[in-house]
Amino acid sequence: MSDYLKKGFLLGLGAAVSGKEKLSLKLKELVDKNELTQEQAKTVMQNFVDKGAMKKDEWNSKNYEQMSKMAKDNGIATKEDINELRARLTELEEKLDEKLNQPN
């Protein structure tokens, strides 16, 4: 991962942690004031965590797509490219072995 992307990811992670802590404090305050039940506070917090996980997955997917596009644009082989070449090489080796081992 490039240094720029890594710094952006860490910044986002820090904001998420800070946001979670602030939300937790606010929810505790609302429960203490009887404006929310403990169960409602747990639901709100779980929704926040779930949304964060969903965004993380979305970010990872977009990051993967962007890195794959950059690799393709710069002529760099991806893992998929290498695996495809390995499969083709194995197939060719098997065909060659068959030809060499055929009786004349």
What are the sequence ranges of the domains in the chain? 3-77
Residue 23 has pLDDT above 80, yes or no: no
What distance in Å separates the CA atoms of residue 93 and residue 28, rounded to the nearest whole number? 66
102 membership: H or E segment, kind and range: none
CB hemisphere CA count around 80 (13 angstroms): 7
Quote the pTM value: 0.44
With 0-12 / 13-18 / 19 or more C-beta atoms within 10 angstroms meaning exposed / middle / buried, residue 44 is: middle
pLDDT tens string 50-104: 887 888 888 888 888 888 888 889 989 888 889 999 999 999 999 999 999 887 6
Residue 48 has pLDDT above 70, yes or no: yes
